[in-house]
């Protein structure tokens, strides 16, 4: 093999290896969530099971918030049926949560989460700190 051909072969292998490095598998889907006094807004509201999501949650409010994705059942008064529940019980129901310790005013917290099952019923992004849900901090999502 001539030097030129060897050089070309090596070059082609290098180019192949470099381009192979450039084609990374798709990363997680970015979900930007904004918490306000008192609302929850999300760039994604329709989720699919098996897809990795990267949640970037920012508290743009003046007070501390938390972030949870959980099933919500409303009672006959249109209030969330979790008034009798302890914080531990609510946490156990949640698919994912970012506690208030990480979401003081102005803070941003991040989590990776992949839905594995299609839940029954009404699923919402919520903040369940006292009075916040009732003030408007809940937004329905769908999981397919
Ligand atoms: Cu809140």
Domain boundary assignment for the chain: 25-143
Residue 138: burial class (beta carbons within 10 Å; 0-12, 13-18, 19+): buried
On whether the CB atoms of residues 33 and 41 are closer than 8 A, the answer is yes
Q: What is the pLDDT of residue 83?
A: 63
Distance 18 CA to ligand 1 centre (A): 47
- Overall fold of domain 25-143: Immunoglobulin-like (2.60.40)
Q: How far is the CA of 89 from the centre of ligand 1 (A)?
A: 18
What's the whole-model pTM score? Answer: 0.78
Per-residue pLDDT of the chain (144 residues; tens, 9 = 90+): 677 777 777 777 666 666 655 445 678 999 999 999 999 999 999 999 999 999 999 999 999 999 999 998 876 666 666 667 787 888 888 999 999 999 999 999 999 999 999 988 899 999 999 899 999 999 999 999
Residue 46 confidence (pLDDT): 97
Please report the sign of the dihedral spanned by the C-alpha atoms of residue 102, residue 107, residue 112, residue 114.
positive
Q: How far is the CA of 26 from the centre of ligand 1 (A)?
A: 33
- Ligand 1 centre and the CA of 78: distance in Å? 19
d(CA 138, ligand 1 centre) in Å: 9
Ranges of H-type helices in 2-82: 3-22
Closest CA to 82 of 20, 24, 124, 29: 124
State whether residue 22 is helix, strand or coil.
helix
CA 64 to ligand 1 centroid distance, Å: 6
Q: How far apart are CA 5 and CA 86, in angstroms?
A: 74
pLDDT of residue 23: 47
pLDDT of residue 73: 82
Question: Quick one: pLDDT at residue 132?
Answer: 95
**What's the CA-to-centroid distance between 137 and ligand 1, angstroms?**
6
CA of 29 to the centre of ligand 1 (A): 25
């Amino acid at each position: 093999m001539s030097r030129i051909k060897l050089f070309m072969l090596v070059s082609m292998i290098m180019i192949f290896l470099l381009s192979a490095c450039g084609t990374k598998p798709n990363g997680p889907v970015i979900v930007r969530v904004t918490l306000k006094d008192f609302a929850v807004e999300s760039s994604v509201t329709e989720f699919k099971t098996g897809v990795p999501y990267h949640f970037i949650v920012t508290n743009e409010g003046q007070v501390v918030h938390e972030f949870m994705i959980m099933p919500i059942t409303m009672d006959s008064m249109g209030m969330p049926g979790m008034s009798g529940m302890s914080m531990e019980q609510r946490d156990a129901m949640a698919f994912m949560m970012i506690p208030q310790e990480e979401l003081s005013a102005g803070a941003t917290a991040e989590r990776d989460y992949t839905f594995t099952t299609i839940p029954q019923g009404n699923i919402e992004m919520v903040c369940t700190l006292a009075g916040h849900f009732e003030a408007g901090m809940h937004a329905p999502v769908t999981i397919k």
